[in-house]
Structure 1
Amino acid sequence: MPKSDDETLDRRPLHERMAADLRDEIMSGDLPPASSLPSTQRLKDRFGVSNATVQKALQILKDERLAIGRAGASVTVREHQQETVRPADFGKPAEPGESYPWLTEATKRGKRGSIHLLSVGEVRPPRDVAHRLGLSEEGTAIVREQVLSHDGEPVELVSSYYPLELAQGTALAEPRKIRGGTPALLAEMGHRPRLTVDRVSARVPTQKQYEALRLPTDLPILRTLRVVYSDGDRPIEVTVMAKAGHLYELQYEFE
């Protein structure tokens, strides 16, 4: 049954619709970094709105770190507003003595990478995680929650889950950082990662994600559900990663 006209209308407030169109032009490169956004008068004419509506739309883009400027002056597109992340750069175990790949890659990009460990403990995982770990209805796992940052700005909230029989009694279950990262530790324990499967979706952020990533609005996050398998297709790690969707994109390469 076809939808009525009322059902197909964009019901968002006008300033949010304005910001959405301008955001798309910024992220697609039609409004490149360091370029000026159209003047207030041009935006008023284009969208048929008041000066106050234009200012509210521009404030959204400033809050999202896509634009910069002050009232009464021109507003420009910020440099490096969306960064490309290659998941393949982070899946391999670090060599002995090397830092966790996240920190190494940050240095290559001219940034200061840091990892803040939020918590470590035994929990009942979300159902999709438990299913991929092969847990029973009441099964539990060890979870390690961390925030990864660049130059003090949070980039990703990471929650990694491990089977109890694998993690208990090891550094995985201890509330401390692991030199070289968990892939290196798992390899040392005889569980070298052999296959990684990512499932990427867009989600409205949860309260925890909103706060941990310091999100300015409820723009979607990129949620990656990653399953790491070792020998015999044994799942040894399931990780949920959340990034701000308007600041980061994922790049996958195939042959």
Structure 2
Amino acid sequence: MSPAPLYRQIADAVRMDISTGRLPPGSKLPSERELIDRFGAARGTVRAGLNVLITEGLITPAQGRGYQVQQHEVFTLDASRHENLLFSRPEDGDSFNNDVTQVGRTSSQELRVEVTEASAEAATRLEIPIGDRVVLRYCRYFVDETPWSIQATQYPWWLVNAHPRLADPVDVREGTTRYLADRGVKQVDFHDEWSTRMPTPDEARELQIGPGVPILVWVRTGYSPASQPLRRTVTVLRGDLSRVTYDIGDRKSSPHREAEGQ
């Protein structure tokens, strides 16, 4: 079998340096000149090898000159507890803030709220006519000042009429799930859909992710005890910074949570 092209050999060697810890997260790569001398390659060949690693999400161009190893401080989302009011207090804030602060990290968000029309997919999930008015609450969430996810939640107009804080262009301090539950509108069932894909240009910009990094897409529909849809939430998470766990069944605790810092 013929050997791999030189640019692939360069990519493989630098990737090995990263995976073995010789180049730890956040460290600068050797300069292009050093890589040229190490591999006896032309500058264009070295850059082609580095572009492979950029596409894989392993390195990123550094400020100024050169390249650095991408820092991946993964945040674990316990989807079994997320939005479960039994595991949070009103003073802890919304579910995202509670999830992040419980593991000793900091959270922040950017919010916008608007009235829009239900798309075909949203109308199907919310069981309303296409084009009906809905309130969209759109958040960009940060973990330790790094963009981690973007979330778009749509509420049907009949629910907004009954509970107008859903349309306020400000953060609902206790979280919208608790706000509704405190007024007798409890979400007791959820339908979740998970998928992966590459980000759109807008998603890549908002999440500040480079080429080659996929996203996780989580679509959740919340239902009342009468099986009436109350909201549809689409959450887009960075694939390089996210790990999702579930507990399925009747266990009261997980032996893995302490090991994961949950």
TM-score, length basis structure 1: 0.73
Aligned to 2:131: 138
> In 1, Cα distance between the equivalents of 2:92 and 2:100?
14
Shift of 1:178: 0.2
Q: 1:123 to 1:57 in 2, by over 3 A?
A: same
Task: Confirm or deny that 1:204 pairs with 2:198.
Answer: yes
Contact kept, 8 Å, 1:65 with 1:81, in 2: the verdict is no
| Higher mean C-alpha displacement, 127-136 vs 30-39 | 30-39
Contact kept, 8 Å, 1:115 with 1:148, in 2: the verdict is yes
Aligned to 2:256: none
Aligned to 1:219: 213
Contact kept, 8 Å, 1:163 with 1:237, in 2: the verdict is yes
| Higher mean C-alpha displacement, 222-231 vs 195-204 | 195-204
User: Any idea what SS the aligned residue of 2:80 has?
Assistant: helix
| Higher mean C-alpha displacement, 231-240 vs 83-92 | 83-92
> In 2, Cα distance between the equivalents of 1:191 and 1:150?
30
Aligned to 2:157: 164
Shift of 1:125: 2.9
CA shift digits 1:212-253 (9 cap, x unpaired): 212222532111110111111111111000012222132222
Shift of 1:181: 0.8
Aligned to 2:46: 51
> In 2, Cα distance between the equivalents of 1:80 and 1:66?
11
Aligned to 2:80: 88
Aligned to 1:8: none
Aligned length: 232
Contact kept, 8 Å, 2:217 with 2:237, in 1: the verdict is yes
Task: Confirm or deny that 1:180 pairs with 2:170.
Answer: no
> In 2, Cα distance between the equivalents of 1:17 and 1:224?
37
Contact kept, 8 Å, 1:95 with 1:184, in 2: the verdict is no
User: Any idea what SS the aligned residue of 1:97 has?
Assistant: helix
Q: Which runs of 5+ in 1 are unaligned?
A: 1-13
* Paired residues for 1:31-70 under 5 Å: 31=20, 34=24, 50-60=45-55, 64=57
Shift of 1:145: 0.3
Contact kept, 8 Å, 1:66 with 1:81, in 2: the verdict is no
Aligned to 1:101: 95
> In 2, Cα distance between the equivalents of 1:18 and 1:224?
36
> In 1, Cα distance between the equivalents of 2:14 and 2:244?
18
| Higher mean C-alpha displacement, 79-88 vs 194-203 | 79-88
Contact kept, 8 Å, 1:172 with 1:182, in 2: the verdict is yes
Q: 1:17 to 1:181 in 2, by over 3 A?
A: farther
Alpha-carbon RMSD: 3.8
CA shift digits 1:78-111 (9 cap, x unpaired): 5644433222232223433332232122223332
AA aligned opposite 1:210: A
Task: Confirm or deny that 1:148 pairs with 2:141.
Answer: yes
Contact kept, 8 Å, 1:18 with 1:57, in 2: the verdict is no
> In 1, Cα distance between the equivalents of 2:237 and 2:14?
17
TM-score, length basis structure 2: 0.72
Contact kept, 8 Å, 2:219 with 2:233, in 1: the verdict is yes
Q: Which runs of 5+ in 2 are unaligned?
A: 1-5, 250-262
CA shift digits 1:96-147 (9 cap, x unpaired): 33322321222233321012113x1221233222211001123221110011
Contact kept, 8 Å, 2:122 with 2:232, in 1: the verdict is yes
> In 1, Cα distance between the equivalents of 2:186 and 2:39?
58
> In 2, Cα distance between the equivalents of 1:226 and 1:140?
19
Q: Percent identity?
A: 23
